[in-house]
A and B are shown apart, each in its own frame.
Chain A
Amino acid sequence: MVKVTVKFFAVGRDITGSDELMLELPEGTTAGEVLIQVKQRYPAFEKVAALLVAVNLDYADTATVLYDGDELAVIPPVSGG
């Protein structure tokens, strides 16, 4: 198993009510699979078509494999000015 921290920002914090989530995942889990889990837990995320994901502060795509201690940031767009 690998331990991964999922960080939430902006409207994602409203959806989850917190700014991070610790997950224990099987080896080889990808960022996309974590997103699916997050959406199952918080269905409102389904609506957020545009989500930027970063693993350990580096731009990532859904195929990125997560390792123990990784941090997955889920960043929805914001528009205020």
Chain B
Amino acid sequence: MKIFIPTPLRQYAGGHESVAVEAATVGGALDQLVAAYPAMKKNLYNETDELRSFINIYKGDEDIRYLQNLATPLAENDELTIVPSIAGGAGTANMTGSVAEAAEVSLSNDEVRRYSRHLIMPEFGMEGQKKLKQASVLMIGAGGLGSPLGMYLAAAGIGKIGIVDYDVVDESNLQRQLLHRTADIGKPKSASAKATINSLNPNVEVETYNVPLTSDNALQILSGYDVIADGTDNFPTRYLVNDACVMLRKPNVYGSIFRFEGQVSVFYADSENKYGIKGACYRCLYPEPPPPGLVPSCAEGGVLGVLPGIIGTMQAIETIKLIAGIGEPLINRLLLFDALKMKFRELKLRKNPHCAVCSEHPSVTTLIDYEAFCGMPAHDHIADAALTSSQTQIQTQPSTPMSMQPTNQANGEITVQQLKSRMDAGEDLFIIDVREPNEYQIVKLGGTTLIPLNTVPDNLSKIPKDREVIVHCKMGGRSAKAIEFLKSQGYTNLKNLTGGINAYATEIDKTMPTY
């Protein structure tokens, strides 16, 4: 039978791709290999003559760990394949370190005490811990997902963590982004994240990139890391990270959240990855982005604070598994989590043979303009004019004018100062609030009528045509849409409250909360 030797180990086996042996068991076959090439021994076995944990042996397509290990019997035409794991060097261009190096890093006595609960697990042990120490992980985003991810990776003893985030800590982040504390409000997230990680584990080297990830810098930044963990908050960056990972042949540990639901997967399109699985990439699932405004971000749609804790933690687990070379990664599997139902579902994925980036004949071979591709900016900040209400866009029939983009018409606007002085003058105003009832409960202007945007068409009888109607929402986007619609229904005397109730709270009545 034949033993196939992976690229990084061939130098120890006379440069051969495969070696023919005759033996009754896997152990016997490896003994013959070592007898013929003694240099193989230290790469295959540890000090106590056990197979090193980062060496996987496959009989056919089955890991011998799930058969009878070294005692697994062999037949005449069986084939054995030696598969070293990632950080140990799989012979692909992107992997740092070689098998020999993996064995060379050492742990200090302090590190041994710190990581003892890893070290005493036979599946993990010193080998696994050394691989974590040697490994580097790049976190895209230090927000909801990046928080548990960064903290667990740091605690686990990853050698180097890179953090890409150019945002600053906002008060509304603290409900879920545990990397940041109340005192960090206003500081760059990358700096705040670095401080938290350093205080958790000073052994970890942290490199921060306080810049937007773009097509110009992505390949350079990503190329310095073994594993990329995507915890960004917008579609353009997700496509950028995916494409860059495919081009650099790096694993992309993906997590994404929406209100009470989350998704996790490992996109590893490199056909020579150590798992021997041709992994799907993000574009195999979603070749095209959704239209702008359809899928709300956390800032627009909200998110349960604990949810990224679950999803980001699962990303941390997958990252550590990839590095330590243990278990079965989420390659070609999409895990869906529903916090309200407390249910997990797993979908099998398949590589799209016509994928624009990861197929054999890709049409996208360099990074493109992802903001143009997605038709939206690469951040989730809500800009006043750009605000699109998810509820409205999706619940409105596409044929109605309400789905049209709002137009800014200065003459149809009323400022919060103008509104205030008219209220103070005791004018009898008709004001409609087109936000959702849960928003109305957070904060409201006095004397308004609540008609959520998507119910406006059913409530025209409540809106008089013969007098001025002032329309407001949170920031001015939805009210502009309501006004567009009302105009189409024959209303002529309409005013949009510029900046919405948030502007009123910031500029007129500072006792009112903003959200």
Contacts and interface: CB of A to CB of B under 8 A. Distances in A.
A-B complex is real: yes
Interface of A: 9-11, 14-15, 43-44, 46-50, 52, 54, 57-59, 73, 75-81
B393 interface: yes
B347 interface: yes
Contact of A57 (B296, B301, B348, B390): B348
B290 A81 contact: no
A79 B346 contact: no
B232 A43 contact: no
B289 A50 contact: yes
Interface class of chain A by DSSP: mixed
A-B CB proximity, top 10 nearest: A78-B258, A81-B233, A80-B257, A80-B298, A50-B286, A44-B394, A54-B347, A10-B258, A81-B231, A81-B145
A17 to B, nearest CB: 8
Interface in B140-167: 141, 143-146
Nearest to A49: B288
Given A49-B291, A59-B350, A81-B232, A11 B258 contact: yes
B394 A15 contact: yes
Given A11-B294, A44-B394, A80-B233, A57 B303 contact: no
B348 A77 contact: no
A52 B349 CA distance: 10
A76 B390 CA distance: 14
Nearest to A78: B258
A75 B291 CA distance: 15
Given A9-B261, A11-B390, 14 more contacts: A10-B295, A15-B394, A15-B395, A43-B399, A44-B395, A44-B397, A47-B394, A52-B285, A52-B347, A58-B348, A77-B235, A79-B258, A80-B298, A81-B308
18 contacts: A10-B261, A11-B296, A44-B395, A44-B396, A47-B291, A49-B291, A54-B347, A57-B346, A58-B348, A73-B347, A75-B336, A77-B235, A77-B290, A78-B257, A78-B295, A79-B380, A80-B256, A80-B258
A80 B301 contact: yes
B349 A77 contact: no
A80 B295 CA distance: 9
B81 interface: no
B144 A80 contact: yes
Contact of A48 (B290, B297, B301, B345): B290
A49 B285 CA distance: 12
Contacts of A79: 232-235, 238, 256, 258, 295, 297, 380
A11 B235 CA distance: 15
B287 interface: yes
A79 B258 CA distance: 7
Contacts, number: 122
A20 B11 CA distance: 57
Given A50-B286, A81-B308, A14 B347 contact: no
Nearest to B262: A78
B500 interface: no
B196 interface: no
Contacts of A52: 285-286, 334, 347
A35 to B, nearest CB: 15
A59 B394 contact: no
B391 interface: yes
A59 to B, nearest CB: 5
A9 B340 CA distance: 12
Contacts of B238: 79
A50 to B, nearest CB: 4
Contacts of B334: 52, 75
A39 B145 CA distance: 32
A81 B261 CA distance: 12
Contacts of B298: 80-81
Contacts of B286: 50, 52, 77
Given A10-B258, A10-B295, A81 B143 contact: yes
B398 A44 contact: yes
A81 B295 contact: no
Contacts of A58: 347-348
Select the residue from A50, A52, A58 with max chain B CB neighbours within 10 A: A50
Interface string B367-406: 0000000000000100000000011011111110000000
B295 A11 contact: yes
B88 interface: no
Given A9-B336, A14-B390, A59-B347, A81 B257 contact: yes
Nearest to B146: A81
A15 B141 CA distance: 29
A56 B227 CA distance: 31
Contact of B255 (A54, A76, A81): A81
